[in-house]
Amino acid sequence: MSPQNPDRIKIAVQKSGRLTEHSLDLLARCGLKYSKGRDQLICYGENLPIDVLLVRDDDIPGLVRDDVCDLGIVGANVLEEKRLAFAAAGDTAPFTIVRKLDFGHCRLSFAVPEDMPWQGPADLAGRRIATSYPHIVGEFLRRQGLEASVVEFSGAVEIAPKLGRADVICDLVSTGGTLRANHLREEDTILDSVSSLIQTPKTVPAGKAEWMERLKKRIDGVIQVSESKYIMLHAPRAALAEITRLLPGSEAPTVMPLEGREDKVAIHAVCRENVFWETLEELKQAGASSMLVLPVEKMLY
């Protein structure tokens, strides 16, 4: 590891898992070029004062809290678990959630063996629940006024019922593949999760703070771009109002005359939502022709 440089931003990212590729891709889209250190734990930013630390996702909230990292990208599931754990230890402001990102969608759900009946959370009473999220599950049980025992597993929670260590589990579900492979059935969901960018609540030096703001603006741009399309089409002048109305999430499209055509115009617009086939079909119905939908590469407002 190189000597700590206090002027460089350190951002913690999951080392290997569901969020790794998306997180590194997001930073690359923000313009960060990096090279991996020999220990494979740090990516050194080559063109921006930003270094990336590759760590276990569960460690990210603590690294941000303890000021080892200024920023972190981690799922709401881990954030909520750690928030409750830190609060129980008296720390009520360990990190600030500064952006919700558009990847890592998953949910924290109870799951039961395929042959076990389930009417609802009340069935948890007196049961043993295996989970890596003891604080979230504990809080849920308290709110529901249920008594059950929570068995903490740090990984491979899905095998707990087979091992006879628990009756039910509470774990993250994304595609549901892991549950199916272990003959478990998903029941009630207690948390919907998406990844977030977190920041240290402490004041950072001005130069670094400025770069942190720039990075957040770029992240906003990247998220907007992934949801945006540039659309070009020809429209009868008479249908202009209707066609403008049909363009998804666009403000003030550009309307241009078409050489030699009094009755038609060209419309160009940035749509802040994806443009689906259905929309194109509706536009065609309204009289639009020569439609072209293009991806947007960068956007800055």
CB of 301 to ligand PRP, least distance (A): 34
Per CB under 6 A, does 257 bind ligand PRP?
no
**Partner interacting with residue 112 (select from Zn ion, ligand PRP, none; CB below 5-8 Å by kind):** none
CA distance 73 to 81: 15
CA distance 280 to 269: 14
* 3-class secondary structure, 73: strand
CB of 155 to ligand PRP, least distance (A): 5
CB of 77 to ligand PRP, least distance (A): 7
Region of 296 (left: φ > 0; alpha: ψ -120 to 50; beta: rest) is beta
Q: How many angstroms separate the Cα of 263 from the Cα of each of 20, 123, 232?
A: 52, 68, 17
**Partner interacting with residue 173 (select from ligand PRP, Zn ion, none; CB below 5-8 Å by kind):** ligand PRP
Pick from 48, 172, 212, 215: which binds ligand PRP (CB under 6 A)? 172
Per CB under 6 A, does 176 bind ligand PRP?
yes
Q: Which residue, 76 or 235, has its beta carbon nearer to ligand PRP?
A: 76
Q: Report the C-alpha dihedral over residues 200, 203, 204, 205, rounded to 10 degrees.
A: 180
Per CB under 6 A, does 189 bind ligand PRP?
no
**Which 53-72 positions form the footprint of Zn ion (CB under 5 A)?**
57-58
| Strands laid side by side in the 261-271 sheet | 254-258, 261-271, 229-236, 289-295
Q: Which stretch binds ligand PRP (CB under 6 A): 20-28, 110-118, 173-181, 244-252?
A: 173-181
- Length reported for the chain: 301
CB of 56 to Zn ion, least distance (A): 6
Per CB under 6 A, does 173 bind ligand PRP?
yes
CA distance 49 to 207: 10
Q: Which residue, 179 or 235, has its beta carbon nearer to ligand PRP?
A: 179
Per CB under 5 A, does 81 bind Zn ion?
no
CA distance 168 to 171: 10
Q: Which residue, 155 or 164, has its beta carbon nearer to ligand PRP?
A: 155
Q: Which stretch binds ligand PRP (CB under 6 A): 66-74, 143-151, 172-180, 261-269?
A: 172-180
Nearest in space to 175 (alpha carbons), one of 110, 107, 111: 107
Residue ranges that bind Zn ion, judged by CB under 5 A:
57-58
